[in-house]
Amino acid sequence: MTSSALTNGQKTIHTAACLIIGDEVLGGKTIDTNSAYFAKFCFSLGIQLKRIEVIADDEGEISEAVRRMSNNYDFVVTSGGIGPTHDDITYESIAKAFGLNLQLHQEAFARMKKLSRPHPMQPQFDWDTPSPMLTAKLRMVELPHDPAVPLAAQAVFVADDMWVPIAVVNGNVYILPGVPRLFERLLDNLKPSLLPRLSNPEGTGIYRYLFSTPLPESEVAPYLTELAGRVEARGVKVGSYPRWEKKRNTVTLVGTDKEFMDGLVAEVEHNVKGTKVSQEDELDVPEDGE
């Protein structure tokens, strides 16, 4: 695993995957917003998000999924399962996936002691006195450890006022908390370190062009099929989306080559008898009574 960890940490990032971990998501108790946020994050940077999975707090499920994603994609983010309770098993499951052990990360522990606020319901808690509460807190800073990889490359601290580390395993698996406000802030602050590894270091992202058409999908399908085959080599994807109970449907072009896509606008508008718009409902006519 060591050689792959070093290689993965230096590869250009073209593709990404997101693994949402938690029984509470699968049970309908919690609504996952982190995958949508990650999708927008990748889109803004020009990274192709290829897969999103939601799995249970199950060691075998986590290990299999994260190992497969690490092999198949350049940038993998996990969300959830790194808290202080018995069912927070993400760290140990990912460690086992890559043949690693957990180890107390001293810098993360020092930051935790310095920056975390004492809970009002734990007035007797002491960082230097062994206790069940301390054991629970330590679960959050016992990270997968690869002895052959520099320690600084195995945990990233992206904000001076946050103790929560982003553990990095096998060079391309980034372990984030499931709490949305933490997930979002950590991900946003990770961005500067990712930019040099993008195929476009400026991070200008992916462009999505929307075309509003009055034609049914069956009418535009032959042209869109021909167009999709013609532009695929330029990294442009063609999409068609019906809008239920609306008089206009949507055709899309998605890609990173803005100049090439600009050159397709007039052609697409002509062939779908439509108009390029900034949002899907831009040309909708209000129904009677609205």
Convert the pLDDT of each residue in 12-47 to its tens digit.
999 999 999 999 999 999 999 999 999 999 999 999
Instruction: Tell me which residue has tokens 């085959």.
Output: 229
207-277: CATH number: 3.30.70
Separation of alpha carbons 93 and 59, rounded Å: 5
| pTM of the predicted structure, to 2 decimals | 0.86
Which residues contact residue 111 at a Cβ distance below 8 angstroms, ignoring those fewer than 6 apart?
A: 157, 162, 163, 165
Indicate the SS3 state at residue 253. Answer: strand
Selection from 20, 22, 14 nearest residue 235 by Cα: 14
Q: Where are the domains of the chain?
A: 1-197, 207-277
Convert the pLDDT of each residue in 68-114 to its tens digit.
999 999 999 999 999 999 889 999 999 999 999 999 999 999 999 99
Separation of alpha carbons 26 and 145, rounded Å: 29
Homologous superfamily of 1-197: MoaB/Mog-like domain (3.40.980.10)
